Protein backbone atom coordinates (compact mmCIF):
# COMPACT_ATOMS: atom_id res chain seq x y z
CA UNK A 1 0.00 0.00 0.00
CA UNK A 2 1.29 3.47 -0.83
CA UNK A 3 2.33 5.98 1.81
CA UNK A 4 -0.22 8.65 0.96
CA UNK A 5 -1.99 10.32 3.85
CA UNK A 6 -5.33 8.79 2.89
CA UNK A 7 -6.22 5.82 0.73
CA UNK A 8 -9.41 6.01 -1.27
CA UNK A 9 -11.54 3.82 -3.48
CA UNK A 10 -14.33 5.44 -5.44
CA UNK A 11 -15.62 2.09 -6.68
CA UNK A 12 -16.65 1.30 -10.23
CA UNK A 13 -19.75 3.46 -10.06
CA UNK A 14 -21.90 5.35 -7.60
CA UNK A 15 -24.22 3.01 -5.73
CA UNK A 16 -26.65 5.68 -4.57
CA UNK A 17 -27.72 9.07 -5.82
CA UNK A 18 -29.52 11.92 -4.06
CA UNK A 19 -32.56 11.30 -6.23
CA UNK A 20 -32.72 7.63 -5.24
CA UNK A 21 -32.49 8.18 -1.50
CA UNK A 22 -33.99 11.58 -0.73
CA UNK A 23 -30.62 13.41 -0.68
CA UNK A 24 -29.36 11.28 2.24
CA UNK A 25 -25.78 10.01 2.28
CA UNK A 26 -25.29 6.99 4.54
CA UNK A 27 -21.81 6.33 5.89
CA UNK A 28 -20.19 3.72 8.11
CA UNK A 29 -17.05 4.48 10.11
CA UNK A 30 -14.66 2.10 11.83
CA UNK A 31 -12.75 4.36 14.21
CA UNK A 32 -9.68 2.31 15.09
CA UNK A 33 -6.68 2.69 17.38
CA UNK A 34 -4.29 2.00 14.49
CA UNK A 35 -6.33 2.61 11.33
CA UNK A 36 -9.68 4.26 10.66
CA UNK A 37 -11.89 3.53 7.67
CA UNK A 38 -15.07 4.90 6.12
CA UNK A 39 -17.52 3.47 3.58
CA UNK A 40 -20.23 5.60 1.98
CA UNK A 41 -23.40 4.77 0.07
CA UNK A 42 -22.15 6.76 -2.94
CA UNK A 43 -19.44 4.12 -3.41
CA UNK A 44 -16.56 6.08 -1.89
CA UNK A 45 -14.18 4.44 0.57
CA UNK A 46 -11.18 5.79 2.45
CA UNK A 47 -8.84 4.70 5.20
CA UNK A 48 -6.08 6.40 7.07
CA UNK A 49 -3.58 5.57 9.79
CA UNK A 50 -5.04 7.00 13.01
CA UNK A 51 -2.42 9.72 13.45
CA UNK A 52 -3.00 13.48 13.45
CA UNK A 53 -0.25 16.09 13.52
CA UNK A 54 0.01 19.87 13.76
CA UNK A 55 3.15 21.80 12.70
CA UNK A 56 5.28 22.72 15.72
CA UNK A 57 6.05 26.26 14.58
CA UNK A 58 5.99 28.63 11.60
CA UNK A 59 9.04 26.97 10.03
CA UNK A 60 7.32 23.58 10.10
CA UNK A 61 4.15 25.15 8.70
CA UNK A 62 6.13 26.72 5.84
CA UNK A 63 7.91 23.44 5.14
CA UNK A 64 4.77 21.32 5.16
CA UNK A 65 2.37 23.81 3.61
CA UNK A 66 -0.58 22.46 5.60
CA UNK A 67 -2.17 23.30 8.95
CA UNK A 68 -2.74 19.63 9.80
CA UNK A 69 -1.52 16.25 8.55
CA UNK A 70 -2.98 12.76 8.83
CA UNK A 71 -1.87 9.16 8.72
CA UNK A 72 1.33 8.14 6.93
CA UNK A 73 2.03 11.73 5.99
CA UNK A 74 1.96 12.72 9.66
CA UNK A 75 4.27 9.83 10.58
CA UNK A 76 6.74 10.67 7.83
CA UNK A 77 6.93 14.28 9.04
CA UNK A 78 6.61 13.60 12.78
CA UNK A 79 9.82 15.48 13.70
CA UNK A 80 8.14 18.68 12.50
CA UNK A 81 4.83 17.97 14.20
CA UNK A 82 3.04 17.75 17.47
CA UNK A 83 1.68 14.33 16.63
CA UNK A 84 -1.18 12.47 18.27
CA UNK A 85 -2.43 8.91 18.13
CA UNK A 86 -5.64 9.89 19.90
CA UNK A 87 -7.32 6.51 20.27
CA UNK A 88 -6.02 4.12 22.90
CA UNK A 89 -7.54 0.68 23.49
CA UNK A 90 -10.24 1.75 21.09
CA UNK A 91 -11.36 4.80 23.07
CA UNK A 92 -10.40 8.47 23.12
CA UNK A 93 -7.32 9.08 25.24
CA UNK A 94 -8.18 11.06 28.34
CA UNK A 95 -4.81 12.69 28.88
CA UNK A 96 -5.66 16.03 27.24
CA UNK A 97 -8.20 17.98 25.23
CA UNK A 98 -5.92 17.59 22.22
CA UNK A 99 -6.96 13.93 21.92
CA UNK A 100 -10.60 14.88 21.40
CA UNK A 101 -9.53 17.59 18.96
CA UNK A 102 -7.46 15.04 17.04
CA UNK A 103 -10.33 12.54 16.87
CA UNK A 104 -12.65 15.27 15.61
CA UNK A 105 -10.16 16.24 12.90
CA UNK A 106 -9.71 12.58 11.95
CA UNK A 107 -13.46 12.00 11.63
CA UNK A 108 -13.89 15.21 9.67
CA UNK A 109 -11.08 14.25 7.31
CA UNK A 110 -12.63 10.86 6.57
CA UNK A 111 -16.13 12.24 6.08
CA UNK A 112 -14.79 14.95 3.78
CA UNK A 113 -13.27 12.23 1.60
CA UNK A 114 -16.59 10.39 1.46
CA UNK A 115 -18.70 13.48 0.76
CA UNK A 116 -16.46 14.98 -1.92
CA UNK A 117 -18.29 16.06 -5.08
CA UNK A 118 -21.78 14.89 -4.18
CA UNK A 119 -25.18 16.56 -4.02
CA UNK A 120 -26.40 15.00 -0.78
CA UNK A 121 -28.03 17.37 1.69
CA UNK A 122 -28.15 15.11 4.76
CA UNK A 123 -25.68 12.64 6.21
CA UNK A 124 -26.38 9.67 8.46
CA UNK A 125 -23.39 8.06 10.18
CA UNK A 126 -22.92 4.85 12.12
CA UNK A 127 -19.65 4.61 14.06
CA UNK A 128 -18.20 1.39 15.47
CA UNK A 129 -16.45 1.27 18.88
CA UNK A 130 -15.08 -1.62 21.01
CA UNK A 131 -17.67 -3.74 22.81
CA UNK A 132 -17.06 -2.88 26.45
CA UNK A 133 -16.13 0.76 25.80
CA UNK A 134 -19.52 1.31 24.18
CA UNK A 135 -21.18 3.15 27.10
CA UNK A 136 -18.21 5.29 28.06
CA UNK A 137 -17.29 6.18 24.51
CA UNK A 138 -20.75 6.60 23.02
CA UNK A 139 -21.49 10.18 24.07
CA UNK A 140 -17.99 11.45 23.32
CA UNK A 141 -18.05 9.98 19.81
CA UNK A 142 -21.52 11.39 19.14
CA UNK A 143 -20.40 14.83 20.24
CA UNK A 144 -17.34 14.79 17.98
CA UNK A 145 -19.21 13.49 14.93
CA UNK A 146 -22.13 15.91 15.38
CA UNK A 147 -20.51 18.66 13.31
CA UNK A 148 -20.29 16.36 10.27
CA UNK A 149 -23.48 14.28 10.33
CA UNK A 150 -27.15 15.07 10.83
CA UNK A 151 -28.04 11.71 12.37
CA UNK A 152 -25.62 9.53 14.32
CA UNK A 153 -25.59 6.09 15.86
CA UNK A 154 -22.79 4.34 17.76
CA UNK A 155 -22.62 0.53 17.73
CA UNK A 156 -20.03 -2.07 18.69
CA UNK A 157 -17.43 -2.99 16.08
CA UNK A 158 -17.98 -6.78 16.04
CA UNK A 159 -21.73 -6.23 15.62
CA UNK A 160 -20.95 -4.04 12.58
CA UNK A 161 -18.83 -6.80 11.09
CA UNK A 162 -21.50 -9.43 11.79
CA UNK A 163 -24.20 -7.28 10.18
CA UNK A 164 -22.14 -6.67 7.07
CA UNK A 165 -21.55 -10.41 6.65
CA UNK A 166 -25.21 -11.24 7.35
CA UNK A 167 -23.97 -13.41 10.23
CA UNK A 168 -26.98 -12.53 12.35
CA UNK A 169 -27.79 -15.83 14.04
CA UNK A 170 -25.74 -18.56 15.75
CA UNK A 171 -22.45 -16.90 14.91
CA UNK A 172 -19.51 -15.31 16.70
CA UNK A 173 -17.31 -12.49 15.45
CA UNK A 174 -13.87 -11.94 16.98
CA UNK A 175 -12.58 -8.54 15.85
CA UNK A 176 -8.84 -8.27 16.56
CA UNK A 177 -7.67 -4.70 16.32
CA UNK A 178 -4.70 -2.74 17.62
CA UNK A 179 -6.15 -1.70 20.97
CA UNK A 180 -8.67 -4.44 21.68
CA UNK A 181 -10.02 -7.85 20.78
CA UNK A 182 -13.79 -7.63 20.64
CA UNK A 183 -16.17 -10.58 20.78
CA UNK A 184 -19.83 -10.68 19.80
CA UNK A 185 -22.11 -13.71 19.72
CA UNK A 186 -25.19 -13.31 17.53
CA UNK A 187 -28.58 -14.86 18.27
CA UNK A 188 -30.84 -13.26 15.67
CA UNK A 189 -31.32 -9.93 17.50
CA UNK A 190 -29.34 -6.83 18.36
CA UNK A 191 -26.70 -8.24 20.75
CA UNK A 192 -27.09 -7.47 24.44
CA UNK A 193 -24.26 -6.46 26.76
CA UNK A 194 -23.82 -10.04 27.99
CA UNK A 195 -23.33 -11.21 24.38
CA UNK A 196 -20.17 -9.13 23.97
CA UNK A 197 -16.70 -8.92 25.51
CA UNK A 198 -13.53 -6.86 25.12
CA UNK A 199 -10.00 -8.10 25.81
CA UNK A 200 -7.17 -5.56 25.93
CA UNK A 201 -4.36 -7.84 24.73
CA UNK A 202 -4.38 -7.16 21.00
CA UNK A 203 -2.11 -5.66 18.33
CA UNK A 204 -0.54 -2.92 20.47
CA UNK A 205 0.14 -5.49 23.19
CA UNK A 206 2.04 -7.61 20.65
CA UNK A 207 4.04 -4.55 19.53
CA UNK A 208 5.12 -3.66 23.06
CA UNK A 209 6.13 -7.23 23.89
CA UNK A 210 8.03 -7.62 20.63
CA UNK A 211 9.89 -4.39 21.29
CA UNK A 212 10.84 -5.64 24.78
CA UNK A 213 11.98 -9.04 23.51
CA UNK A 214 14.09 -7.46 20.76
CA UNK A 215 15.72 -5.04 23.19
CA UNK A 216 16.59 -7.98 25.42
CA UNK A 217 18.15 -10.02 22.61
CA UNK A 218 19.73 -7.16 20.64
CA UNK A 219 20.58 -4.42 23.17
CA UNK A 220 22.76 -2.52 20.68
CA UNK A 221 20.17 -2.43 17.89
CA UNK A 222 18.44 0.90 17.30
CA UNK A 223 14.73 0.72 16.50
CA UNK A 224 11.44 2.41 17.34
CA UNK A 225 8.03 1.07 18.27
CA UNK A 226 6.79 2.12 14.84
CA UNK A 227 9.48 -0.05 13.21
CA UNK A 228 8.45 -2.95 15.42
CA UNK A 229 4.84 -2.49 14.36
CA UNK A 230 5.90 -2.74 10.70
CA UNK A 231 7.84 -5.93 11.44
CA UNK A 232 4.71 -7.42 13.00
CA UNK A 233 2.44 -6.39 10.14
CA UNK A 234 4.77 -8.03 7.63
CA UNK A 235 5.75 -11.19 9.51
CA UNK A 236 3.31 -12.03 12.36
CA UNK A 237 2.55 -15.71 12.96
CA UNK A 238 1.64 -18.27 15.61
CA UNK A 239 2.64 -21.93 15.69
CA UNK A 240 5.66 -23.36 13.90
CA UNK A 241 7.43 -20.87 11.61
CA UNK A 242 7.45 -21.50 7.88
CA UNK A 243 10.73 -19.64 7.40
CA UNK A 244 13.26 -17.69 9.41
CA UNK A 245 12.28 -14.04 9.84
CA UNK A 246 15.15 -11.63 9.28
CA UNK A 247 14.79 -7.84 9.30
CA UNK A 248 17.17 -4.96 8.85
CA UNK A 249 17.84 -2.90 12.00
CA UNK A 250 20.68 -0.36 12.35
CA UNK A 251 23.47 -0.94 14.87
CA UNK A 252 25.59 2.15 15.51
CA UNK A 253 24.18 3.54 12.27
CA UNK A 254 25.05 0.48 10.19
CA UNK A 255 22.16 -1.51 8.62
CA UNK A 256 22.36 -5.03 10.05
CA UNK A 257 20.21 -8.12 9.53
CA UNK A 258 18.63 -9.63 12.65
CA UNK A 259 16.80 -12.92 13.20
CA UNK A 260 13.53 -12.13 15.05
CA UNK A 261 11.68 -15.42 14.48
CA UNK A 262 11.48 -16.60 18.10
CA UNK A 263 10.63 -13.16 19.43
CA UNK A 264 7.86 -12.71 16.85
CA UNK A 265 6.26 -16.05 17.71
CA UNK A 266 6.45 -15.40 21.45
CA UNK A 267 4.88 -11.94 21.14
CA UNK A 268 2.08 -13.02 18.79
CA UNK A 269 1.16 -16.07 20.85
CA UNK A 270 0.74 -13.87 23.93
CA UNK A 271 -2.81 -12.99 22.79
CA UNK A 272 -3.93 -16.61 22.46
CA UNK A 273 -4.91 -17.33 26.10
CA UNK A 274 -7.26 -14.35 26.30
CA UNK A 275 -8.73 -15.09 22.88
CA UNK A 276 -9.41 -18.76 23.59
CA UNK A 277 -10.69 -18.25 27.13
CA UNK A 278 -13.15 -15.51 26.14
CA UNK A 279 -14.37 -17.37 23.07
CA UNK A 280 -15.07 -20.56 25.02
CA UNK A 281 -16.72 -18.64 27.86
CA UNK A 282 -19.19 -16.97 25.50
CA UNK A 283 -20.00 -20.24 23.75
CA UNK A 284 -20.51 -22.04 27.07
CA UNK A 285 -23.05 -19.42 28.17
CA UNK A 286 -24.99 -19.68 24.90
CA UNK A 287 -28.11 -21.82 24.61
CA UNK A 288 -26.74 -25.41 24.66
CA UNK A 289 -28.97 -26.47 21.75
CA UNK A 290 -27.23 -23.94 19.49
CA UNK A 291 -23.61 -24.11 20.68
CA UNK A 292 -22.64 -26.51 17.89
CA UNK A 293 -23.96 -24.06 15.30
CA UNK A 294 -21.91 -21.24 16.82
CA UNK A 295 -18.75 -23.39 16.81
CA UNK A 296 -19.33 -23.89 13.09
CA UNK A 297 -19.68 -20.17 12.44
CA UNK A 298 -16.69 -18.40 14.02
CA UNK A 299 -15.45 -15.34 12.11
CA UNK A 300 -12.09 -13.66 12.65
CA UNK A 301 -12.00 -9.98 11.66
CA UNK A 302 -9.76 -6.93 12.02
CA UNK A 303 -6.08 -6.54 11.22
CA UNK A 304 -5.09 -9.21 13.76
CA UNK A 305 -7.07 -11.81 11.85
CA UNK A 306 -4.20 -11.77 9.32
CA UNK A 307 -1.72 -13.33 11.76
CA UNK A 308 -0.53 -16.46 9.99
CA UNK A 309 -1.67 -19.67 11.67
CA UNK A 310 -4.26 -17.96 13.88
CA UNK A 311 -7.34 -19.37 12.15
CA UNK A 312 -5.88 -22.87 12.27
CA UNK A 313 -5.03 -22.50 15.96
CA UNK A 314 -8.55 -21.40 16.90
CA UNK A 315 -10.06 -24.23 14.87
CA UNK A 316 -7.76 -26.77 16.54
CA UNK A 317 -8.84 -25.60 20.00
CA UNK A 318 -12.52 -25.81 19.08
CA UNK A 319 -12.15 -29.30 17.63
CA UNK A 320 -11.70 -30.60 21.17
CA UNK A 321 -15.36 -29.64 21.72
CA UNK A 322 -16.72 -31.14 18.49
CA UNK A 323 -17.24 -30.14 14.88
CA UNK A 324 -16.27 -26.55 14.11
CA UNK A 325 -15.46 -24.09 11.36
CA UNK A 326 -13.46 -20.86 11.59
CA UNK A 327 -13.13 -18.39 8.73
CA UNK A 328 -11.45 -15.04 8.20
CA UNK A 329 -13.10 -11.96 6.67
CA UNK A 330 -12.05 -11.24 3.11
CA UNK A 331 -11.48 -7.52 3.78
CA UNK A 332 -10.17 -6.88 7.32
CA UNK A 333 -9.56 -3.20 6.63
CA UNK A 334 -13.10 -2.28 5.55
CA UNK A 335 -15.09 -5.06 7.23
CA UNK A 336 -16.26 -2.86 10.10
CA UNK A 337 -16.95 0.23 7.98
CA UNK A 338 -18.81 -1.78 5.32
CA UNK A 339 -20.94 -3.42 8.00
CA UNK A 340 -21.73 -0.09 9.60
CA UNK A 341 -22.76 1.24 6.18
CA UNK A 342 -25.08 -1.72 5.61
CA UNK A 343 -26.61 -1.11 9.01
CA UNK A 344 -27.08 2.61 8.24
CA UNK A 345 -28.86 1.83 4.97
CA UNK A 346 -31.22 -0.67 6.64
CA UNK A 347 -31.81 1.20 9.91
CA UNK A 348 -35.48 2.20 10.47
CA UNK A 349 -36.01 5.96 11.00
CA UNK A 350 -37.12 5.60 14.64
CA UNK A 351 -33.69 4.27 15.66
CA UNK A 352 -31.81 7.36 14.55
CA UNK A 353 -30.93 10.26 16.81
CA UNK A 354 -31.11 13.66 15.12
CA UNK A 355 -28.70 16.46 16.01
- Find the mean pLDDT for residues 87-116: 79
Question: pLDDT: is 143 or 176 the higher one?
Answer: 176
pLDDT at 135 over 60: yes
pLDDT at 132: 66
Contacts of 139 (CB under 8 A, 6+ apart): none
pLDDT at 1 over 90: no
pLDDT at 133: 63
Q: Where are the domains of the chain?
A: 7-50+85-165+334-354, 167-328
Q: At 21, give phi and psi (nearest 5°).
A: -130, 35
pLDDT at 73 over 90: yes
| 245-264 residue pLDDT tens | 999 999 999 999 999 999 99
Q: At the fourth CATH level, which superfamily is domain 167-328? A: ATPase, nucleotide binding domain (3.30.420.40)
- Find the mean pLDDT for residues 25-44: 92
Q: Which of 8-22, 77-91, 212-226, 339-353 has the lowest mean pLDDT?
A: 8-22
DSSP string, 176-241: E-SS-EEEEEEESSSPPGGGEEEES-SHHHHHHHHHHHHHHH-TTB---HHHHHHHHHHH-B-SS-
19 pLDDT band, cuts 50/70/90, is: very low
| Of 260, 237, 265, 238, the residue nearest 247 (C-alpha) | 260
pLDDT at 140: 81
- Find the mean pLDDT for residues 126-135: 76
Sign of CA dihedral 129, 134, 138, 140: negative
pLDDT at 87: 81
- Find the mean pLDDT for residues 193-214: 94
Write down the mean pLDDT value for the chain. 88
The CA–CA distances, whole Å, from 43 to 26, 123, 169, 276, 334 equal: 10, 14, 28, 37, 13
pLDDT at 275 over 60: yes
Question: pLDDT: is 120 or 225 the higher one?
Answer: 225
DSSP-derived 3-state class of residue 328: strand
Is the fold of 7-50+85-165+334-354 the same as that of 167-328?
yes
Q: What is the CA radius of gyration of the chain?
A: 21
CATH number of 7-50+85-165+334-354: 3.30.420.40
pLDDT at 170 over 90: yes
Start-to-end CA distance of the chain, whole Å, equals 37
d(CA 191, CA 159): 7
Amino acid sequence: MSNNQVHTDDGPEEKETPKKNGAILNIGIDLGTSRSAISASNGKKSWVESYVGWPKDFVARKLLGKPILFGDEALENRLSLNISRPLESGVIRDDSESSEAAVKELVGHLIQQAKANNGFKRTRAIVGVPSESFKANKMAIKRLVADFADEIMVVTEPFSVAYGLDALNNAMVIDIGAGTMDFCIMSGTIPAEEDQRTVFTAGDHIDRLLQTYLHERYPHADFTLNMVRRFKEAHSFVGDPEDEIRVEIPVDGKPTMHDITAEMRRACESILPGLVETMLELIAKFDPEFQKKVRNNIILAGGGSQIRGLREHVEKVLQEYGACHVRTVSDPLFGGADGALSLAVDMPPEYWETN
